[in-house]
Amino acid sequence: MFNFTVVLVMLVSTLGPAAIIGLVGYAAIMALGRNPSAAPKILLAMITAFIFAESIAVVAILMVYNIFK
């Protein structure tokens, strides 16, 4: 039987980074709509934010795996 506590904790631990990725993507599209000539700077900031959000998600999943192992 699979433990639903593990599923709930994994959902909560990955929901934050997923929300950050969505908000960053939305903000980047809005910024590109206002100033298309700033695309390289916006792209660099967007990719950096994505990398940090994904690293938080990976660390959270690894911590949950180790806790409920």
Within 8 A by CB and 6+ apart from 6, the residues are: 64, 68
Q: Return the percentage of the chain with pLDDT > 70, whole number.
A: 97
| Helices assigned H by DSSP within the chain | 4-34, 39-67
* 20-28: long-range pairs with CB below 8 Å, 24+: 20/49, 20/53, 20/56, 21/49, 21/50, 21/53, 21/54, 24/49, 24/50, 24/53
Q: What is the mean pLDDT of the chain?
A: 87
Inform me whether the pLDDT recorded for 1 exceeds 60. no
Neighbours of 25 (CB within 10 A): 13
* pLDDT for residue 30 is more than 90: yes
